[in-house]
Structure 1
Amino acid sequence: MNADLSSPATHDAADAAQALLSVRDVTLAFGPKVIQHDISFDVKRGSIFAVMGGSGCGKSTLLKSMIGLLRPTKGEYLVGTDNYWAGTDEDRVRIGRRFGVLFQSGALWSSMTVGENVALPMQMFTTLKPHVIRQLVELKLGLVGMLHAIDQYPSELSGGMKKRAGLARAMSLDPDILFFDEPSAGLDPITSARLDELILNLRDGLGATIVLVSHELSSLFAIADDGIFLDPESKTAIAHGSPTWLRDHCENPMVHAFMHRERTDSSSHGDR
Structure 2
Amino acid sequence: MNNQMPSTDDRPALITVNDLTLAFGPRVIQHDVSFQVKRGSIFAVMGGSGCGKSTLLKSMIGLLRPTGGTYKVEKDDYWAGDDASRIRIGRRFGVLFQSGALWSSMTVGENVALPMQMFTKLEAPVIRRLVELKLGLVGMLHAIDQYPSELSGGMRKRAGLARAMSLDPDILFFDEPSAGLDPITSARLDDLILNLRDGLGATIIIVSHELSSLFHIADDGIFLDAEQKTAIAHGSPTWLRDHCDDPMVHAFMHREQLDSSSSHGNG
Question: Normalising to structure 2: TM-score of the pair?
Answer: 0.95
Give the whole-Å Cα distance in 1 for the aligned partners of 2:201 and 2:183. 26
Q: 1:64-89 CA deviation, whole Å, 9 max, x = no partner? A: 01100000000111111111111111
Distance 1:165 1:265 in 2: 42
Corresponding residue for residue 269 of structure 1: none
Q: Which whole-Å deviations, capped at 9, do the CAs of 1:121-159 have from their partners, x for residues lacking one?
A: 000000111111011000000000000000000000000
Task: Report matched runs for 1:81-120 at 5 Å.
Answer: 81-120=75-114
Pair 1:198-2:196 in alignment: no
Please give the secondary structure, in 2, of the residue aligned with 1:193.
Answer: helix
Deviation string 1:58-114 (CA, Å, 9 cap, x unpaired) is 001000011000000001111111111111111111111110000000000000000
List gaps (5 residues or longer) in structure 1: 267-272
Query: How many pairs does the alignment contain?
Result: 260
1:51 equivalent in alignment to 2:49: no
Identity within the alignment, %: 83
Query: Is structure 2 residue 163 aligned with structure 1 residue 163?
Result: no
Structure 2 residue runs without a partner (length 5+) = 261-267
CA positional deviation for 1:4: 4.4
Q: Secondary structure at the match of 2:79?
A: coil
Contact kept in structure 2, 1:4 and 1:240, CA below 8 Å: no
- Amino acid of the residue matched to residue 233 of structure 2? A
Aligned to 1:153: 147
Quick one: which of 246, 251, 272 aligns to 2:245?
A: 251
Is 1:188 aligned to 2:178, yes or no? no
> Segments of 4+ in structure 1 off by > 6 A?
none
| Other structure's SS at 1:244 match | helix
Q: Which amino acid aligns with 1:39?
A: V
- The RMSD of aligned alpha carbons is 1.4
Q: 1:7 aligns to what? A: 5
**Which secondary structure does the structure 2 equivalent of 1:24 belong to?**
strand
- Match of 1:178, SS? strand
Contact 1:26 1:74 in 2 (8 A): yes
1:56 maps to a residue whose letter is G
Which residue number corresponds to residue 270 of structure 1?
none
Residues in 2 aligned to 1:174 and 1:80: alpha-carbon distance in whole angstroms: 18
Residue 126 of structure 2 corresponds to: 132
| Structure 2 counterpart of 1:26, from 12, 16, 20 | 20
